[in-house]
Amino acid sequence: MKITASMVKDLRTKTGAGMMDCKKALVEADGDVEKAVDILREKGLSQAAKKASRVAAEGAVVSAISEDGKTGTIVEVNCETDFVGSNDDFKALAHSIAQQIIAVNPADVDALLASDMNGKSVKDTVTEAVAKIGENISVRRFVRYESAEGKVYSYIHGGGKIGVLVELKGGDDELGKDIAMQVAAANPSYLDRSEVPQAEIEHEKEVLAVEARNEGKPEKIIEKMVLGRINKYYKEVCLVDQEFIKDGDLTIAKLLKSKNAEVLRFARYQLGEGIEKKQDDLAAEVAKQLNQ
Give dist(CA 45, CA 83) in Å, integer.
25
Task: Please report which confidence band the pLDDT of residue 282 belongs to, taking 50, 70 and 90 as the band edges.
Answer: very low
**Would you say 36 and 11 are in contact if contact means Cβ atoms under 8 Å apart?**
yes
Query: Is the CB of residue 167 less than 8 Å from the CB of residue 150?
Result: yes
Q: pLDDT digit string (tens) for 70-107? A: 999 999 999 998 899 988 999 999 999 999 999 999 99
- Tell me whether residue 176 is in a domain: yes
Q: What is the pLDDT of residue 270?
A: 93
Which pLDDT score is estimated for 34? 84
**Are both 128 and 230 inside the same structural domain?**
no
Distance (Å, rounded) from C-alpha 272 to C-alpha 28? 41
Q: Rounded to an integer, what distance in angstroms lies between the CA atom of residue 243 and that of residue 113?
A: 40
Residue 214 scores a pLDDT above 60:
yes
Is the domain of 107 the same as that of 157?
Answer: yes
For 42, the domain range is 5-51
Task: Give the count of alpha carbons within 13 A of 16, CB side only.
Answer: 21
Q: Is 292 a domain residue?
A: no
Residue % of the chain over a pLDDT of 90? 61
The pLDDT assigned to 207 comes to 84
pLDDT, tens only, 169-181: 999 999 999 999 9
Domain assignment present for 15: yes
127 and 202 inside one domain: no
130 φ, ψ (degrees, to nearest 5): -60, -45
Residue 280 lies in a domain: no
Residue 69: which of 188, 229, 177, 179 has the closest Cα? 177
Q: Are residues 188 and 206 in the same domain?
A: no
Q: Do residue 227 and residue 157 come from a single domain?
A: no
User: Are residue 129 and residue 180 in the same domain, yes or no?
Assistant: yes
Radius of gyration of the chain from its Cα atoms, rounded to whole angstroms: 25
CATH code, domain carrying 34 = 1.10.8.10
Q: Are residues 152 and 182 in the same domain?
A: yes
Per residue in 27-61, pLDDT tens?
Answer: 999 999 888 888 887 676 666 655 555 556 799 99
The CATH number covering residue 134 comes to 3.30.479.20
105 and 125: one domain?
A: yes
d(CA 111, CA 179): 30
pTM for the predicted model, two decimal places? 0.74
pLDDT of 283:
52
- What are the beta bridge partners of residue 65? 72
Q: What is the pLDDT of residue 53?
A: 54
How many whole angstroms separate alpha carbon 261 and alpha carbon 170?
Answer: 4
Quote the pLDDT of residue 10.
83
**122 and 85 in a common domain:** yes
Q: Is residue 286 part of a domain?
A: no
pLDDT digits (tens, 9 = 90+) for 139-196: 999 999 999 999 999 999 999 999 999 999 999 999 999 999 999 999 999 999 999 9
Check whether residue 104 and residue 63 sit in a common domain: yes
Give how many domains the chain has, as a whole number.
Answer: 3
Q: Are residues 138 and 189 in the same domain?
A: yes
129 and 250 together in one domain: yes
Which pLDDT does position 281 carry in this prediction?
47
Handedness of CA 47, 50, 52, 54 (dihedral sign): negative
Helix (H, G, I), strand (E, B) or coil at 275: coil
Percent of the chain with pLDDT over 70: 89
Work out the widest C-alpha separation in the chain, in whole angstroms.
Answer: 90
User: 84 near 93, Cβ under 8 Å?
Assistant: no
